[in-house]
Structure 1
């Protein structure tokens, strides 16, 4: 009798655990899938431009890859990281039921992100002279001078698209994100094909398609937010958005620093490839590997967003046990996806290069790098989730310090030793940088494991009390309805 009762109890416990895991997986995919679609399609627009440019001009391909892999990628990562501050604050406000604050946080993020982008703009304008001073191929840098004016409207569109994506994601309005981003990518492919193949505009046509589609996404998101589909969280423009900008700036900059260090880490490979004997082939090959890596990395950033939102929501609700459970489930799913993508990379990496270039030499170079690329993909399926957990808890500054130390104090020095002392070339540099990622992942695992989540719940409540503003009478009545 006791054995039957024990077996029944174990069966019920197992059934409860399966239901709990399945429930968490559903919540995770509800956030991660649209977020992944947004990141993959928005980055896909950059890749579409490079793909059409690559079939138009080898010099144009290498020049665009060099500009995109250095300055554009740095700013893309910076803005992506800064927008994660919006995700942190909106997620915690939503979990705590302080819906009126979410629209105010969104407006503050627009102000802060626009200011930082404007400060960074001179680096894009002077990108060609800077790269020439660094010894890059003059033919490529003169082509960059023709390209950079098209990039300026694009980077300003990222201010709105990235922050609104985080704002909508935090309140579980994820389906609209996936729909708008997918439609913008379809529009981008159609317009770029027309401008390049039918109108013969070449590089300019590819970049024109990129700008139109990116701003079409922004307009779609603005229509949704302003059109009344977010009645509790968007109550119009408010002077309150001008209050507490410095704390918002501090959190945004630490978030941006955290992500852009990671984005630019592997861009160093492309920059160093520019010093090799056959720079055009080397840059093209490494940029293609970087695009494949970044596409998969953007999938993992979807899991990072899910981790951030789930942790922020549960901290806002005050449930530390739910935070721990969410972390375990999201880590397991992300690692499985990373393993699948790694295997696919080993099998089809060389063939994928023909999406970007018709050159057999470039395809051979990409195929030669497939093993180390697959390893990078597998290792980076875990790290973004850990970063997302830290972002959800508001620990961006800790991750930024860890990234700086492991990437630039460990990874690059080890890579340089392997490259120049052991004569392993760029592969050695890449291997050393992967070592930095491994150390970073281990440290973040330790930090998350040792985190006192009950204490983080208290910190979240204190932060929300300090930053919250009382809703107006009209907003209170709207929320009650």
Structure 2
């Protein structure tokens, strides 16, 4: 059957879906999730005026994310065995493994770029990363053209191009930060303090990662399940996911702004401003999503032409889009709530809502509809619709009932409001001197030598995990051969 889907042609297209789950699922979503603790810590600290503490938080994040590379590598190096275990074609699994292995050295650069973005955007600086991304994408397209069509490197060339692009983005943004002197107000040099309070960062980072990963892993797993039914179902699922990505980008801008502004306001002790920012975020994301839902719903029979001319796939996409349109509104609402929750430092609630929603409601309903009821991907999306509907109700109710005064107090403690003269906040024309003094954490009482030993053991544990991954890979490869 000739499925003329533009996004999945030839060798590169065949490996795209498989390597996406491995490299995108474990790279992009884990990096964004772990870096998202900065959405709370940096935004609140910047709002509280304790600017040099931002540099310490960034140092903590750099060390923690570099350590996170090791378990990610341990998983990525076993891409082929994992894909074979879920019944993917051996040739495609091998190609995906080849792509991922070449890309693996770029993982630290990927993590650092994510931190750079959050370092800037949580201080209200947006355009540098936008321009950097635009320049890097142009260079990526040029490099891909050279290595794929001129040098004829195929999948290897695509991986090399992606790898180089990650380093280019980090280099460009680093050069901009240094050239403009943006770091001078927040970076006082490497400090021993960056070894302290990792627990605070991880308690925010891990739930943030769950919030990010759970949803997108669900979509990627759905693609695998669609592939078990037929090529038409897989093609339709790919098109729907592409439109889902596009639709998500519009309300995401409001979500990012909401997270930053809510965090800034809470860190500054301005509870009313935080509430107002939350309302504006919800309204903005809701308005944009309603417009998108009307547009996509009205064009449901035609939008698949952007990606494919195959009539069977187009018809299937049209069927899904009829009820995917209202899904856009719910998804945008959930994303806006999630961003506000991150800005307020309530990631555990968000992680619980996402995990229970997708794996406790969405999947248990969607998968039986998909196979037992023979509804295909329409059944999967029906389950996800129910999931996101319940999720929205829960998160909106939680946000309305949230104790904003308590959230403000917690934010000021995280921001170190009583550490220095920055604790004095200017509001309503008068200086209001804060008397919040955070209690020293358990780690603050640990001698520096013992703290270094702890972090050294953490590094050893991460290296051990990578070593286990390599050993497993060698054993499995010998079994395959």
TM-score, reference length from structure 1: 0.80
- How far off its partner does 1:62 sit? 3.1
Equivalent positions of 1:371-410 (< 5 A) are 371-410=322-361
Which range is displaced more, 402-411 or 350-359? Answer: 350-359
Q: How far apart are the structure 2 equivalents of 1:54 and 1:244?
A: 46
- How far off its partner does 1:256 sit? 1.0
Greater helix percent: which structure? Answer: 1
Q: How far apart are the structure 2 equivalents of 1:349 and 1:158?
A: 35
Secondary structure of 1:399's match? helix
Q: Would the aligned equivalents of 1:418 and 1:424 in 2 still touch at CA under 8 Å?
A: yes
Q: Would the aligned equivalents of 1:307 and 1:392 in 2 still touch at CA under 8 Å?
A: yes
Q: How far apart are the structure 1 equivalents of 2:70 and 2:309?
A: 37
- How far off its partner does 1:354 sit? 6.1
Asked if 1:54 corresponds to 2:8, the answer is yes
- How far off its partner does 1:247 sit? 2.2
Number of the residue aligned with 2:195: 242
5+ residue gaps, structure 1, are 1-50, 472-481
Number of the residue aligned with 1:25: none
- How far off its partner does 1:209 sit? 2.4
Q: How far apart are the structure 2 equivalents of 1:138 and 1:374?
A: 37
Secondary structure of 2:229's match? coil
Asked if 1:155 corresponds to 2:68, the answer is no
Post-superposition CA distance 1:360-400 (Å, at most 9, x none): 65555444433344333232111111001110111111111
Change (3 A) 1:284 1:215: farther
Q: How far apart are the structure 2 equivalents of 1:154 and 1:349?
A: 38
Q: How far apart are the structure 2 equivalents of 1:359 and 1:108?
A: 50
Change (3 A) 1:229 1:71: closer
Q: How far apart are the structure 1 equivalents of 2:301 and 2:117?
A: 33
Equivalent positions of 1:270-349 (< 5 A) are 270-278=223-231, 281-346=232-297
Q: How far apart are the structure 2 equivalents of 1:99 and 1:353?
A: 48
| Cα RMSD, aligned residues only | 2.6
2:208 to 255, 268, 286: 255
TM-score, reference length from structure 2: 0.80
Number of the residue aligned with 1:225: 177
Q: How far apart are the structure 2 equivalents of 1:137 and 1:373?
A: 30
Q: Would the aligned equivalents of 2:208 and 2:347 in 1 still touch at CA under 8 Å?
A: yes
- How far off its partner does 1:353 sit? 5.3
Number of the residue aligned with 1:82: 34
Secondary structure of 2:189's match? coil
Q: How far apart are the structure 1 equivalents of 2:77 and 2:198?
A: 28
Which range is displaced more, 214-223 or 154-163? Answer: 154-163
Change (3 A) 1:293 1:195: same
Change (3 A) 1:446 1:202: same
Change (3 A) 1:247 1:84: same
- How far off its partner does 1:273 sit? 1.5
Secondary structure of 1:424's match? coil
Asked if 1:180 corresponds to 2:132, the answer is yes
Q: How far apart are the structure 2 equivalents of 1:202 and 1:372?
A: 38
Q: How far apart are the structure 2 equivalents of 1:336 and 1:67?
A: 35
Change (3 A) 1:388 1:104: same
Number of the residue aligned with 1:192: 144
Number of the residue aligned with 1:32: none
5+ residue gaps, structure 2, are 423-481
